[in-house]
A and B are shown apart, each in its own frame.
Chain A
Amino acid sequence: MKILVFCFLMCTASVIVSWEITQKAYKKIAVVDAVKLFDAYAMKNDLEILAKKDLERQKKQLDSVENLLEMAKVSRADADQINKLSETRGFLKRRFENDYEESNRDINTKVWKRLNPLLDEFGKENALHLIIGANGMGSVLYNDEFYDRTNEVIKFANKKYAQGN
């Protein structure tokens, strides 16, 4: 009887151990939501705050000129004045749109320049074989929470940024 109980316990233990090993082996792959990571990275928000100051100033200038143009049209000012204001509005609008696009591109480049090596570091520290970027654009069609380590990566990246990396 004792031998039977011993055998049963041994079998149960080996099943548990092999299950754990298998689970750990599966965990060598991680899925990270790239959009969520990008949006939650503290440096991205800091860069947006810095860019916003200049863009808001430009937007105020553009709004003022648009108001002046409207007033000139309503008061039937001479054509020269309306043309000048219209040209100024066109220039300010183009500049605002260009700067807005450039600032988005700039933030995107800088953020990924910092995140890519951090993802490498996270992968090495956690002995991962593969990190798959899920971004809702077709690369990963579905994943449940089993492989999802987005929140862990966000915490890792923001901690590194705050400490100086």
Chain B
Amino acid sequence: MRKGINRKWVLVFLLVSISCNKPLDGPAYIKYVSDPAHGLIRAIAVGDMQFEIKYRPHELIMLQECKGAFQGYPYEQRKADLKGTAWFSISIKCATQRLSPLRYGLSSQEEYNQRLNYYLNEAVKDIWLSYGDAVIAPSSYLFENSYNLTPVETLIVGFILPDDSKNSGTDLTLSFNERIFESGILKTGFTHQVLSHIPQLIYKG
């Protein structure tokens, strides 16, 4: 009887797991990764600033690169290129005013230039990823300057994960020691459970 109940629960668990991981088409995939309930987007508010940290799965990057149309897109090649890397975006916006964070509470043009220089060249030194025992510096960094057209500034950051089995299956923790708005260290953990539940993308080349 007990064995029967256990088997029933195992079956239910397997069915739930399979249904959670069922492959999705492009729009459904974007909807999944954009839903904060799935744990791939985290928001941190410090003072007047709001930070949104997103984990960017490889499939999402490829979907954005090919703008949703895979015809002629080197899907397999790109997938192989991205293997062993982890990508994140950090968006910064002001909670109280609709203006670029670079222009928030400015006292001079020089201060604006310092902020711009920080996000263009210096912020990358203040970002790191903890992966098991390893602490990894970014291998790729881009500041998407909005030129004050939108009230959000975004940093894109990529890491090459160490190729060892010791750390596989462990959580990823992204840390950003933000210096412009005196926010301190913004730490965001993405558990292995959340990452392994990201569904597959249906690819039709």
Contact = CB atoms under 8 A, between A and B. Distances in A.
Interaction A to B? yes
A111 B184 contact: yes
Contacts of B185: 43, 46-47
A113 B185 CA distance: 11
Contacts of B175: 46
Interface centre among A114, A117, A162 (most CB of B within 10 A): A114
B189 A114 contact: no
A111 B185 CA distance: 9
Contacts of B188: 164
Given A114-B46, A164-B42, A109 B189 contact: no
B184 A162 contact: no
A26 B145 CA distance: 53
A110 B182 contact: yes
A110 B47 CA distance: 10
For chain B, the bracket of interface size reads 10 to 19
Contacts of A113: 46-47, 182-184
14 contacts: A43-B184, A43-B187, A46-B175, A47-B177, A47-B184, A106-B182, A110-B182, A113-B46, A113-B183, A114-B46, A114-B184, A161-B187, A164-B42, A164-B189
Given A114-B183, A162-B187, A163-B189, 9 more contacts: A43-B187, A46-B185, A106-B182, A113-B47, A114-B184, A117-B45, A164-B42, A164-B186, A164-B188
Interface of B: 42, 44-47, 53, 175, 177, 182-189
Nearest to A114: B184
B184 A164 contact: no
Interface centre among A106, A109, A162, A164 (most CB of B within 10 A): A164
A164 B53 contact: yes
A162 B185 CA distance: 10
A111 B45 CA distance: 14
A21 to B, nearest CB: 36
For chain A, the bracket of interface size reads 10 to 19
A161 B188 CA distance: 8
A161 B189 CA distance: 10
Nearest to A117: B45
A141 interface: no
A81 interface: no
A98 interface: no
A61 interface: no
A80 B2 CA distance: 91
Contacts of A46: 175, 185
Contacts of A161: 187
Interface string A125-156: 00000000000000000000000000000000
A109 B45 CA distance: 16
A5 interface: no
Interface in A58-114: 106, 109-111, 113-114
B177 A50 contact: yes
